[in-house]
Structure 1
Amino acid sequence: MHRLFALFIALSASFLANAPAQAEVHVLTSIKPLQLIAAAVQDGVGSPEVLLPPGASPHNYALRPSDVRRVRDSDLLYWIGPDMESFLPRVLKNRTLPTVDVQSLPGMRLRHFAADSASHEEEDPDEHDHDHRPGSLDAHLWLSSFNARVIAAKMAADLSAADPANAARYSSNAQAFNTRLDALDTRIKARVAGISGKPYFVFHEAFDYFEDAYGLKHAGVFSVAAEVRPGARHVAAMRERLTEMGKTCVFSEPPLRPRLAETLTAGLPAKLAELDALGSDTPINAQGYELLLSTLGDDLVGCLESL
């Protein structure tokens, strides 16, 4: 990771050659998980902002005029990429300051949706504007602590180039972040060890990065995309799977529980619960990203242990 940081330093020096040096760099991220990573890197120096308000979908957010101004004026802007925030590319065409789509960073470990991830035969193409088809990129990449390290290294390099006076602080913050994530990975693996064989279901295929990192796997998914209504055959198949499984957990994502949840689980010993991939209620501080991941683990384990 030190070599990765050195690589990003070299690239960022050129990337930010025309950016004015200043005491506090105005960082804007598209979604909260990236803001939490930036908060760890900027700790003690600055406070990153986020574009999407709580509860907003990163797939189809409608930008307000004030949002467009923030996108235009921020010193550094970080977003996942066109596979996640499909509303941003058009606005970014008019941006002249440094912009980073983290899905394109060197060293990222990316996943793609599997051919058997869910039924697609009855999806309405007008129901969503992002690609969850088999083989397409799974853009929920922030749920991998490995990827978070890569993103933090890039942020530290960019901030160091834009604000050399605080370069040492950004570098040490990124190193401390890596150390804390090493310890966090160990804690989460120990936390989920007891439930790794228990079946559970998710409404949105958003957690594969987290599951892959900690040896977990959902037994079924009702819809690969949060905005896609699963077809009747898929609903019937999932109801049958739930019946076969007996006691299990079915996880949706806040802020809304799909109306289908009660229909699918009615009369079955399945428990409804939530997993928040965006960390909507997570405080914004240097440890916020770690809390996002640890809360996912706790919520997953808590439901399955309660059965």
Structure 2
Amino acid sequence: MSRQLALLLLSLLPLAAQAEVRVLTSIKPLQLIAAAVQGELGRPEVLLPPGASPHHFALRPSDVRRVQSADLLYWIGPDMETFLPRLLEGRDQPSVAVQALPGLTLRHFGEEQGGEHEHEDEHERHADEHDHDHRPGSLDAHLWLLPANARAIAARMAADLAAADPANAARYQANLAAFERRLNGLDAELKSRLAPLAGKPFFVFHQAFDYFESAYGLQHVGVFVAASEVQPGARQVAAMRERLKAAGPACVFSEPPLRPRLAETLAAGLPVRLAELDALGAEALSYEQLLGNLAEELAGCLESL
């Protein structure tokens, strides 16, 4: 009987060595990076459902339990997920604010930013569903849209996973190396695709894409901050339309899941094309696809001008 028990214990050892590390990320782009590193050894979860804003998210009790039970948790930081810091104080396991990682390239609003901004009046600006700190000097927290930052985040995840699961450290490193190779190849493709589009005019409704723009030589010429419920007054709309007229043929990008009503108003009768850019990659199955989708949407519109 003791021999049988010994054999049973030995048969369980491989399973113990491959016990899944429970990874939770705040937003999908970080989940996609974690999935590339964890590979077949686990399935990282994401806290925010598709379409939810990382700036204004109400946690359910089940979300709180997920935060408390995860082995590793990754979030952008207090400049993005303002709802998380207090909750993370009660966590016993590691929580990594990736905006604080060494080796990242960080941008701040007002630093070599493209174009001017058109804002509604103060009341309407605060009604904006994307209203968060875009004041000059504040951190631009959309840092995952720079491929070099994704590499640094992935490297930290690989190190953390190896520490949590030493038996599979080599596999995490191999997954990291494969991710870096894929990303390097994609980076070269996107530079080639987007380089001819430098200088073509486009406007955005949310200043979320500066990291991506800086990586590929693009620059928006204006930001229309659109209130989610209240249409801007006639004077504000007229000023925005003057900006579009001055630009000539241009693209105006909103973000899914909703296109601001203002977009249709601004484009009426002008040589303007409306399209979408998804910074959070709601439809992406990989981080590479998230970047590729952005490039495809930008190129698809700008090449038609």
Q: What TM-score does the superposition give when structure 2 sets the normalisation length?
A: 0.87
Deviation at 1:76, TM superposition (A): 0.3
Deviation at 1:118, TM superposition (A): 2.3
Q: In structure 1, how many angstroms separate the alpha carbons of the residues matched to 2:229 and 2:143?
A: 20
Q: In structure 1, how many angstroms separate the alpha carbons of the residues matched to 2:182 and 2:205?
A: 30
Q: Contact (CA 8 Å) 2:119, 2:224: kept in 1 or not?
A: no
Q: In structure 1, how many angstroms separate the alpha carbons of the residues matched to 2:73 and 2:92?
A: 11
Q: What amino acid is aligned across from residue 87 of structure 1 in structure 2?
A: F
Partner of 2:11: none
Deviation at 1:22, TM superposition (A): 6.3
Deviation at 1:160, TM superposition (A): 0.2
Question: Is structure 2 residue 59 aligned with structure 1 residue 60?
Answer: no
Q: 1:294 aligns with which of 292, 295, 302?
A: 292
Q: How many residues align?
A: 283
Distance 1:265 1:185, change over 3 A: same
Q: What amino acid is aligned across from residue 206 of structure 2 in structure 1?
A: H
Deviation at 1:234, TM superposition (A): 5.2
Distance 1:169 1:130, change over 3 A: same
Q: 1:102 aligns with which of 81, 94, 98?
A: 98
Deviation at 1:121, TM superposition (A): 7.6
Q: What amino acid is aligned across from residue 262 of structure 2 in structure 1?
A: L
Partner of 2:121: 122
Q: Contact (CA 8 Å) 1:41, 1:174: kept in 2 or not?
A: yes
Q: 1:40 aligns with which of 21, 36, 47?
A: 36
Q: What TM-score does the superposition give when structure 1 sets the normalisation length?
A: 0.86
Distance 1:205 1:227, change over 3 A: farther
Specify the structure having the higher radius of gyration (Cα): 2
Distance 1:206 1:303, change over 3 A: same
Distance 1:21 1:75, change over 3 A: farther
Q: In structure 2, how many angstroms separate the alpha carbons of the residues matched to 1:230 and 1:290?
A: 36
Q: Secondary structure at the match of 2:273?
A: strand
Partner of 2:12: none
Distance 1:230 1:200, change over 3 A: farther
| Structure 1: gaps spanning 5 or more residues | 1-19
Distance 1:259 1:120, change over 3 A: closer
Partner of 2:89: 93
Q: Contact (CA 8 Å) 1:143, 1:210: kept in 2 or not?
A: yes
**1:74-94 per-position Cα deviation (integer Å, ceiling 9, x unaligned):** 000000001011111121122
Q: In structure 1, how many angstroms separate the alpha carbons of the residues matched to 2:110 and 2:86?
A: 29
Partner of 2:45: 49
**1:86-108 per-position Cα deviation (integer Å, ceiling 9, x unaligned):** 11112112212110000000111
**1:247-287 per-position Cα deviation (integer Å, ceiling 9, x unaligned):** 1110000000011111111111101100011100112xxxx
Q: Contact (CA 8 Å) 2:24, 2:74: kept in 1 or not?
A: yes
Distance 1:226 1:178, change over 3 A: farther
Q: Contact (CA 8 Å) 1:55, 1:254: kept in 2 or not?
A: yes
Q: Secondary structure at the match of 2:260?
A: coil
| Structure 2: gaps spanning 5 or more residues | 1-15
**1:6-65 per-position Cα deviation (integer Å, ceiling 9, x unaligned):** xxxxxxxxxxxxxx9862100000000000000000012111000000111111011111
Q: In structure 2, how many angstroms separate the alpha carbons of the residues matched to 1:97 and 1:129?
A: 31
Q: 1:160 aligns with which of 151, 155, 162?
A: 162
Question: Is structure 2 residue 78 aligned with structure 1 residue 82?
Answer: yes
Q: What amino acid is aligned across from residue 292 of structure 1 in structure 2?
A: L
Q: Contact (CA 8 Å) 1:191, 1:298: kept in 2 or not?
A: no
Q: Contact (CA 8 Å) 1:222, 1:234: kept in 2 or not?
A: no
Q: 1:172 aligns with which of 171, 174, 182?
A: 174
Partner of 2:8: none
Structure number with greater CO (CA < 8 Å, separation at least 6) is 1
Q: What amino acid is aligned across from residue 271 of structure 1 in structure 2?
A: R
Deviation at 1:305, TM superposition (A): 1.7
Find runs of 4+ consecutive structure 1 residues off by over 6 angstroms. 225-231
Q: In structure 1, how many angstroms separate the alpha carbons of the residues matched to 2:220 and 2:239?
A: 15
Q: In structure 2, how many angstroms separate the alpha carbons of the residues matched to 1:54 and 1:196?
A: 31
Deviation at 1:183, TM superposition (A): 1.1
Partner of 1:146: 148
Compare 236-245 and 137-146 and name the one that shifted more.
Answer: 236-245
Partner of 1:24: 20
Q: What amino acid is aligned across from residue 111 of structure 1 in structure 2?
A: R
Q: Contact (CA 8 Å) 2:71, 2:94: kept in 1 or not?
A: yes
Identity %: 69
Q: Secondary structure at the match of 1:264?
A: helix
Q: In structure 2, how many angstroms separate the alpha carbons of the residues matched to 1:53 and 1:292?
A: 16
Q: 2:256 aligns with which of 254, 275, 280?
A: 254
**1:175-211 per-position Cα deviation (integer Å, ceiling 9, x unaligned):** 1111211111110011112211211111100000000
Partner of 2:13: none
